[in-house]
Structure 1
């Protein structure tokens, strides 16, 4: 009998309980081996201590291991002293990502997630939610921060000792996510946050970097030596000197841009939590200017005009405009039309309005093929983009145009676009929507009616 046969016989002789115990022991050894081999970047090293309700905030470019650093921190936290000895495993944590699916894919199952650092982690979905769990009973509940329902789940998320905010700057409802997760961050003697994100000039993120209890580490793509050198060089060469390089590769938190028509402070001053009763709603579409792997986005913005006449900053009574949703993205034409039609019906819109100067003639054809009941009309640009955008920016300055909740991608484009640059598609769709609702004769006549 060979050694392999002898081992097989011994394994067959074990009871199910003994086999489970052996499996756990082997998994523990595999985890310890992987754990010892990990070599962090300097910006992945957390502070010695994070204050109670304070933060370790990793701001970094693409590929700098932000998720990797937070996953390792959470695994180390689980294997450290229990935050509450009364609990099985001693720890109840939370992972909040832009969507719950993002939390599963990036933070647990992904190549930089919890399982990569500790293969003993299992993902379980129960009536109470979706959890990452360890053999000792410690758990991390997974949340999203995209819809109002996500925020409500955070309200009932239970007490936690550690909250990991993944890609915080990309969260649709970041402020609410922070508020409601903080309410439940009260387990143990030192509950706190860790966060990983490519920086975007979100007001909440800017505020965090100014706090004394927030420890910020920063990483640059060019220094991420574990990435393929050809990839790093290609990205740096392609985007050198641009805002994209500063933000997405160097991890810089950029604030308001000189010459931009919108400011972050202006958007925040006019922000509202919910839209009032609306007289009209439109879904505005701006077609992608390019196609292929590096296609521009298709801009799809839903906006409405209030029924009431309210004073603006000057005291003039007028109907105000409200940006309700941003459905933009890179997608095939048919998907873009389906998305706009769905929004048209969900918001009981008056029309889908599409710009056709820039190759958008296809929109009407596809929309009518998919749903001939939709009221569809086109707009054509007779003036330059800056000339079209300036009156809409003025509406924000006059506090007559508002963003409902938070639309991070749209807001980023508004505060970063400078006339003369190529205008992004979300911004263009937003300008078309507000122009139709508030500045055109057709819009005004419909509102009066």
Structure 2
């Protein structure tokens, strides 16, 4: 194990740490390797149980035991190498869809089985995300636990109780003050990058309460353990985790390592993301502390620019992105109005074309509404029609500041289609995936849009960052809403190609 070391910043934080990575420890689970062998020999994996003469008991073991179903990067360090037998913190950095949640949930089940005296704490960003992802999702504990060891979910107590009596409490990071009074032997901390309320203090509190022990731990000389599964980000919390090097083991995994269980469109998105520093972080699990805070500054707009005479004549749909200077922004910013057309090109990818920047600053209260309606009427003939013969074109606006006023103001001028959404994530969280698409050449400026491009070059999305973001917001929202969020991620941490219907079975 790596010895404690006083390191503080940048690349030094990662130097000397033991790392489990696909290149050195293997890319496939034993079950996936079996599927590959069967496909090579027989051309199919169907009927594999009969071909291999497997019993029901053996099928259940293949399906539920992590040493067979998980890739090395998804397995707790002591399962990968005896060198890591006394690990304290397993820090699994992975791209989106790399199977991090599957790994974390499996580690909880394994610990509950192995130690009847275990006391487990599960922490996630919010109660909703804990239940949706860590407990009940396709890679959650309640889904992955074998039928004979499936815990009872006591929602009123916010607790799972396993058949052997092991209890696992779950709480969101914002409720760190409620962790006290317990001595946990095992903790699973998920998506720490999304912890909003003083994440370093929450992590410190996890350390305070994670000091329990058991007879098994004393017998084996083990300390309490933490499993941290997350998409990486160069935050102060990550620095704090990496400074605590005693017993720390990293696992690195990319989205493409799990490509056998990903939707094709999502795998394409991961391939495209390699061209962007943010994409390499989000999809390849790379952790860099010296990224340019300006999200679009590294984008070469000239490489993907389209001359107005060469732009497509029709689009799958057209959106007028609208960011009116209302509420607290009134009198300070311009009204952001940007026209975006989206179409599926021959490469099988959705390309976004920024057709016009019509942003303006005007004292007239409804000037932005008039401009947006005029833009919709000008551009909607270039949008394909839906089954009812109507152009697939609309105005889109965020409603955090303007509320229903945006729609009502537009509808006083014309009864056009208006879609709105209340933002639940930050500007940076919306812009980052759009910048990845732009770096991959999937966002095209049609002609020169100097003011928009200048604003993009300075945009960080950080609170208190570059003040002028009206044009950027108007451009980002349509692409984020109708391209990024529409890309599917089906079964990101799904089971092997070998189909085993094991639900409801019990071991012999």
**TM-score bracket, shorter-length normalisation:** 0.5 to 0.7
Change (3 A) 1:422 1:237: farther
Partner residue of 1:123 out of 153, 172, 175: 153
Partner residue of 2:177 out of 146, 152, 160: 152
Residue deviations 1:253-306 (CA, integer Å, cap 9, x gap): 121235859xxxxxxxxxxxxxxxxxxx957898695698999xxxxxxxxxxx
Shift of 1:221: 1.6
Separation in 1 of the partners of 2:100 and 2:337? 31
Counterpart of 1:231 in structure 2 is 265
The answer to whether the 8 Å contact 2:294/2:460 transfers is no
Separation in 1 of the partners of 2:183 and 2:120? 8
Partner residue of 1:35 out of 61, 64, 68: 64
Shift of 1:341: 6.9
Q: 2:210 matched to 1:185?
A: yes
The answer to whether the 8 Å contact 2:458/2:466 transfers is no
The answer to whether the 8 Å contact 1:50/1:56 transfers is no
Residue deviations 1:164-201 (CA, integer Å, cap 9, x gap): 01111111132122121211112114212001001111
Q: Secondary structure at the match of 2:189?
A: strand
Counterpart of 2:369 in structure 1 is none
Q: Secondary structure at the match of 2:207?
A: helix
Q: 2:401 matched to 1:340?
A: yes
The answer to whether the 8 Å contact 2:91/2:229 transfers is yes
Instruction: State the TM-score, normalizing by the size of structure 1.
Output: 0.52
Q: Secondary structure at the match of 1:79?
A: helix
Counterpart of 2:188 in structure 1 is 164
Counterpart of 1:91 in structure 2 is 118
The answer to whether the 8 Å contact 1:259/1:419 transfers is no
Q: Secondary structure at the match of 1:208?
A: helix
Residue deviations 1:328-349 (CA, integer Å, cap 9, x gap): xxxx967x43x4379xxxxxxx
Q: Structure 2 unaligned segments of length 5 or more: list them.
A: 1-56, 79-83, 218-222, 296-326, 343-349, 353-394, 413-423, 436-452, 470-508
Counterpart of 1:200 in structure 2 is 233
Separation in 1 of the partners of 2:100 and 2:328? 39
Q: 2:164 matched to 1:136?
A: yes
Separation in 1 of the partners of 2:166 and 2:351? 43
The answer to whether the 8 Å contact 1:413/1:427 transfers is no
Partner residue of 1:247 out of 272, 281, 286: 281
Change (3 A) 1:36 1:184: closer
**Greater CA deviation, 179-188 or 224-233?**
224-233
Q: 2:71 matched to 1:47?
A: no
Separation in 2 of the partners of 1:424 and 1:341? 22
Q: CA RMSD in A?
A: 4.5
Q: Secondary structure at the match of 1:224?
A: helix
Counterpart of 2:102 in structure 1 is 68
Higher relative contact order (CA 8 A, sep 6+): 2
The answer to whether the 8 Å contact 2:188/2:228 transfers is yes
Separation in 1 of the partners of 2:101 and 2:396? 33
Counterpart of 1:10 in structure 2 is none
Separation in 2 of the partners of 1:291 and 1:121? 49
Q: Secondary structure at the match of 1:226?
A: helix
Separation in 2 of the partners of 1:215 and 1:288? 48
Partner residue of 1:209 out of 209, 222, 242: 242
Shift of 1:39: 2.2
Shift of 1:363: 8.0
Change (3 A) 1:235 1:138: same
Shift of 1:163: 0.9
Pairs within 5 Å for 1:277-426: 282=328, 336-337=398-399, 339-340=400-401, 362=406, 365=409, 421=456, 426=461
Separation in 2 of the partners of 1:247 and 1:414? 14
Change (3 A) 1:341 1:181: farther
Separation in 2 of the partners of 1:426 and 1:179? 27
Change (3 A) 1:57 1:409: farther
Separation in 2 of the partners of 1:431 and 1:364? 30
Shift of 1:229: 6.9
Q: Select the structure that is richer in strand.
A: 1
Q: 2:139 matched to 1:112?
A: yes
The answer to whether the 8 Å contact 1:165/1:193 transfers is yes
Counterpart of 2:467 in structure 1 is 432
The answer to whether the 8 Å contact 1:209/1:216 transfers is no
Shift of 1:133: 1.8
Shift of 1:247: 0.9
Counterpart of 1:269 in structure 2 is none
